[in-house]
Structure 1
Amino acid sequence: MLVAGPAATAAPEEGPVHFADQSWSETDRAWFYGASQGSQIMPYAWFLSLEAPEGGGLFVADRLERFGYLPNPYDGRTGPATGLPVGFVKDVDDRGEWVGMTCAACHVNRVSLRGRTIQIDGGPTNADMFAFIAELGRALTLTASDDARFDRFARRVIPAELSGQGGADRRRLRASLTRFAGDFARYVEQSRARVAWGPGRLDAFGMIFNRATGMDLRDPRNIAEPNAPVSYPFLWDTSWHDWVQWNGSAPNNLVVERLGRNVGEVLGVFAHADIREPTLPPLWFQTSADRLNLMRIEGRLRDLTAPGWPNAVAPPTESQRQDAAAGKVLYDRLCLSCHAIAPTGPDRRQSVTLTPLDRIGTDPAMARNAESRQAFSGILEGVRMPFLVTTPPLPERLRSLDLVAAIVAGAILEPVDLLQNPSRLGADQADIVARLLKRGASEREARNELLNTMSGAGGKDLVARFLGDRRDRDLLVYKARPLNGAWATGPFLHNGSVPNLYELLLPSDQRSKTFRVGSREIDETKIGFRSDIGPFLFDTSLPGNSNAGHEGPDYGTSNLTEAERRQLIEYLRTL
Structure 2
Amino acid sequence: MRGTMVRRATPIALAGAAVLGVSVLSLAGPGRAETPAAPAVVRLLDQNWPQSVRQGFYTTSQGSQLMPYNWFKALERPGSTQLFLADRLARFGYLPNEVSAQNPERLPVGFALDRGTGPTYIGMTCAACHTGQITYQGTALRVDGGPADADFQGMLVELSAALAETVSDPAKFNRFAARVGGDRAALKTSLAAFAAAWGQFFGAALDGQAWGPARLDAFSMIFNRLTGLDFKVPSNVAPAHAPVSYPFLWNAHRQDAVQWNMSAPNGNYIKALTRNTGEVLGVFGALNVCVAGKDIAGNACPGDRRRFASKLFPHIPFYDTSISVPGLMKLEWAITVLAPPAWPSTVFGPVNAGRAEDGRQLFNEVCADCHHMTKAALSQEVWPVLDQRPTDTDPTMYRNALRWVKSGPLDGTRALLFGDDGAVTVGDMPAEAPAVSVLTNGVIGGIVDGLLNQKGGKLNHDDYSNLGLTPLKLIKLAIDQKTGTVNAVEEAAGPAFKTVRPAGPPAHKTSCVTSDGAAGDQTPPVYEARPLFGIWATGPYLHNGSVPTLWGVLKSSARPAAFAVGWREFDPVQVGHVSAVGTPGTWTYDTRLPGNCNRGHDDYRRADGSELTDDQLWAILEFLKMLTTPDQLWRSVY
Other structure's SS at 2:543 match: coil
1:339 counterpart residue number? 371
Letter in structure 2 aligned against 1:546: C
1:552 counterpart residue number? 603
- 8 A contact 2:551–2:558 mirrored in 1: no
Q: Point out the more displaced range, 148-157 or 37-46.
A: 148-157
- Aligned positions, number: 536
Letter in structure 1 aligned against 2:563: F
2:541 counterpart residue number? 492
Alpha-carbon distance, 1:548 to partner = 0.7
| Partners of 2:208 and 2:199 in 1: CA distance | 17
User: Normalising to structure 1: TM-score of the pair?
Assistant: 0.87
| Partners of 1:422 and 1:267 in 2: CA distance | 17
Structure 1's 188 and 452: CA in aligned 2 closer, same or farther, altered over 3 A? farther
1:474 counterpart residue number? 501
- The answer to whether structure 1 residue 48 and structure 2 residue 73 are counterparts is yes
- The answer to whether structure 1 residue 563 and structure 2 residue 615 are counterparts is yes
| Partners of 1:54 and 1:454 in 2: CA distance | 54
Alpha-carbon distance, 1:137 to partner = 0.8
- 8 A contact 2:257–2:265 mirrored in 1: yes
| Partners of 2:501 and 2:479 in 1: CA distance | 30
2:184 counterpart residue number? 170
- The answer to whether structure 1 residue 267 and structure 2 residue 281 are counterparts is yes
1:209 counterpart residue number? 223
| Partners of 2:478 and 2:109 in 1: CA distance | 29
Q: 1:403 aligns with which of 421, 430, 438?
A: 438
| Partners of 1:369 and 1:264 in 2: CA distance | 17
Determine which structure has greater relative contact order: mean sequence separation of CA pairs < 8 Å that are 6+ residues apart, divided by chain length: 2
Alpha-carbon distance, 1:391 to partner = 1.9
| Partners of 2:623 and 2:66 in 1: CA distance | 43
User: Could you say what the CA RMSD is over the residues aligned between the two structures, in angstroms?
Assistant: 2.7
Alpha-carbon distance, 1:342 to partner = 9.4
| Partners of 1:284 and 1:35 in 2: CA distance | 26
Q: 1:374 aligns with which of 360, 381, 404?
A: 404
* Percent of aligned pairs sharing the same letter: 40
2:579 counterpart residue number? 531
Alpha-carbon distance, 1:431 to partner = 3.8
- The answer to whether structure 1 residue 449 and structure 2 residue 476 are counterparts is no
1:307 counterpart residue number? 341
Other structure's SS at 2:470 match: helix
| Partners of 1:418 and 1:483 in 2: CA distance | 34
| Partners of 2:417 and 2:460 in 1: CA distance | 28
- The answer to whether structure 1 residue 394 and structure 2 residue 408 are counterparts is no
- 8 A contact 2:325–2:456 mirrored in 1: no
Deviation per CA, 1:12-65: give whole Å up to 9, x if none. 651310111000100000111000000001111000111111331111000000
Q: 1:58 aligns with which of 76, 83, 86?
A: 83
Q: Superposed, which structure 2 residues align to 1:356-371 within 5 Å?
A: 356=388, 359-371=390-402
2:594 counterpart residue number? 543
Q: Point out the more displaced range, 556-565 or 475-484.
A: 556-565
Deviation per CA, 1:268-316: give whole Å up to 9, x if none. 1101111233459532200101112111111110000100100122232
- 8 A contact 2:56–2:102 mirrored in 1: no
Deviation per CA, 1:307-350: give whole Å up to 9, x if none. 01001222326xx221111111110111000224499xx99834
Greater percentage in helix: 1
- 8 A contact 1:69–1:86 mirrored in 2: yes
Structure 1's 191 and 555: CA in aligned 2 closer, same or farther, altered over 3 A? farther
Q: Which runs of 5+ in 1 are unaligned?
A: 1-10, 164-168, 439-444
- The answer to whether structure 1 residue 288 and structure 2 residue 322 are counterparts is yes
Alpha-carbon distance, 1:553 to partner = 5.0
Other structure's SS at 1:402 match: helix
1:5 counterpart residue number? none
2:301 counterpart residue number? none
Letter in structure 2 aligned against 1:462: V
Letter in structure 1 aligned against 2:343: W
| Partners of 2:290 and 2:455 in 1: CA distance | 27
1:355 counterpart residue number? 387
| Partners of 1:424 and 1:65 in 2: CA distance | 28
Letter in structure 2 aligned against 1:148: A
Alpha-carbon distance, 1:536 to partner = 0.8
- 8 A contact 1:306–1:484 mirrored in 2: yes
Alpha-carbon distance, 1:361 to partner = 0.7
Letter in structure 1 aligned against 2:141: I
